[in-house]
Amino acid sequence: MARTPRSAVVLRDATPDDAAFLAEVWHASMRRGEDADRLRDVAAVLARAEQLEGERVLVAEHAGEPAGAVLLRLTTLSPVDLDPVVQVLVPTVLPRLRRHGVGRALMEAAVVFAEEHDAGHVATAAEAGSREANRFMARLGFSQRATYRTASTAMVRAQVGGPRTDPATGARSIGSVLAARRSLRRAQEQRPSSEGQEPTG
């Protein structure tokens, strides 16, 4: 199959009218829930990008129809490594429109965004099980810098143990903590006096 030249791909800033398309193309990356929930999430993402100079949502069109999208975010490599980086978040192309230069056009836009903001790095992520996405990123020069892992809070709690949080407040059970401290303090205060007494009887 002949490849479509990249000149046939047009990039533009996303608008609120693109919410349904973005919810569709990003469906696998969004939280589970009703369609209305995802539409609200997309609307919030678009509103944030509209307000922040360092964020941009782009839609790629192929032959006049939306084909892919990406969220670009200017930040730092990490909270403690302050080198500027452009995160290329959820770069996604509709399956039926892949291999038409859409993904490469989205990544090229990310590079331009990084150059405009003097960011020396571009970073992205691909699902560990997606061989196609990881190969695509590797061909563009992306190497693995870290392994990003996630787990449910309940799972980590079960593994690390320790005091649980109050489900109503999200704080540790302060009553039990204070009670334990008072008991320890009383034991420490009573120990010298009991040890200094002469035995009776």
Q: pLDDT digits over 78-116, tens only?
A: 999 999 999 999 999 999 999 899 999 999 999 999 999
What is the per-residue pLDDT for 180?
A: 66
Domain ranges, ordered by start, for the chain: 6-150, 163-193
pLDDT tens-digit series, residues 24-36: 999 999 998 899 9
| pLDDT score recorded for residue 7 | 60
pLDDT at 67 exceeding the cut of 70: yes
Q: What percent of the chain has pLDDT over 70?
A: 80
Contact 125, 140 (CB under 8 A): no
Check: CB of residue 111 under 8 Å from CB of residue 122. Answer: yes
The CA-atom distances, in angstroms, between 198 and each of 186, 190, 193 are 21, 15, 10
Residue with tokens 């990490």: 78
pLDDT in tens, 141-195: 988 888 888 899 999 989 998 766 666 665 566 666 676 677 777 766 665 544 4
In the predicted structure, residue 197 carries a pLDDT above the cut 50? no
Specify whether domain 6-150 bears CATH 3.40.50.261: no
Q: Which long-range contacts (CB under 8 A, 24 or more apart) does 121-124 make?
A: 121/77, 121/83, 121/84, 121/85, 121/86, 122/85, 122/86, 122/88, 123/77, 123/85, 123/86, 123/87, 123/88, 124/87, 124/88, 124/89, 124/91
Can you give the pLDDT at residue 162? Answer: 72
Return mean pLDDT, the chain: 85
CA distance 174 to 172: 6
pLDDT(16) > 80: yes
When pLDDT is cut at 50, 70 and 90, the band that residue 8 belongs to is confident
Residue 126's pLDDT is 79
